[in-house]
Structure 1
Amino acid sequence: MAADVFCTTTDKSIVDFINDLARSMTLHNFIIHNEEKMEMVRHFGHQGVALAEDFDLHMVQVCSPKKAARSLSENLERAVLLPQFIVVFTQDQKTQVRMLRYGRELVAELVDDADFPEQNAVLCDSLISAINEAL
């Protein structure tokens, strides 16, 4: 797998899902890094870009500060694949959740680091577990 998109849905509202996601992320030693800027209609609005009021895309940036600091201390080239975003929006009256996952082979091609492909896969698995717990 070069890359794929993890896709899931929930009947929870976006607000309820993101609140539950924040709790779940904490249990997995992650934080939501951009709480004040994840609601894209507001973020774009601050830049003078008008969107429909029902434009409800949220781009949730997640990070594990201790793990990220340790990983980046080993190799700054890893930063190109960090941080991770979880995209949340409404479609067909359900909250949609998406996350881009990079395959080990692609990570190995992008970053010259023998340990990083496996570490990145473990990171993605942990994020998906946290997402599933928040559903």
Structure 2
Amino acid sequence: MKVILMRHGEAEEGVTPDSARSLTEFGGSQARQTADYLAANYQIDALVVSPFKRAQQTMAQVAKHFPDIKVMTQDNITPSDDPKSAFNKLAQIETQCLLVVCHMSIVAKLASLLTGDSFGGFALAEARVFDLEFMMTGMAKEVDRFIPEQP
């Protein structure tokens, strides 16, 4: 099975609440670049996204390539959520290729849980692909990564 963790694209500053921040025009371009890469290289069969606007907008770019797949919003993958709780909920999804779009710092913490290694962070709209037999902490190996144009 593959798990793809993706951070949202560049978002506007100075908007409150944080959950209402939209992608900038550049952030939309980053999301499209990563979506195009993922669509060309992976057969994603499950899409999970944070409820925050910028993550939803990022996921929308990916979903265009996979119109028949239902997008699932998961409330516990926002920036301040507990990564272990998020991981446990993600582990319940039966899939062969799962894409999760969320935020720093939870995306790096989820990557750490998958591999058992430490991750300093993800670039804007970066996607990292992990290969594992089943969702269990410390069982994954990073096999690919894509970083779109950065500011």
Common topology (TM > 0.5): no
Q: TM-score, normalised by structure 2?
A: 0.32
Higher strand share: 1
Higher helix share: 1
Q: TM-score, normalised by structure 1?
A: 0.34
Quick check: which has more Rg, 1 or 2? 1
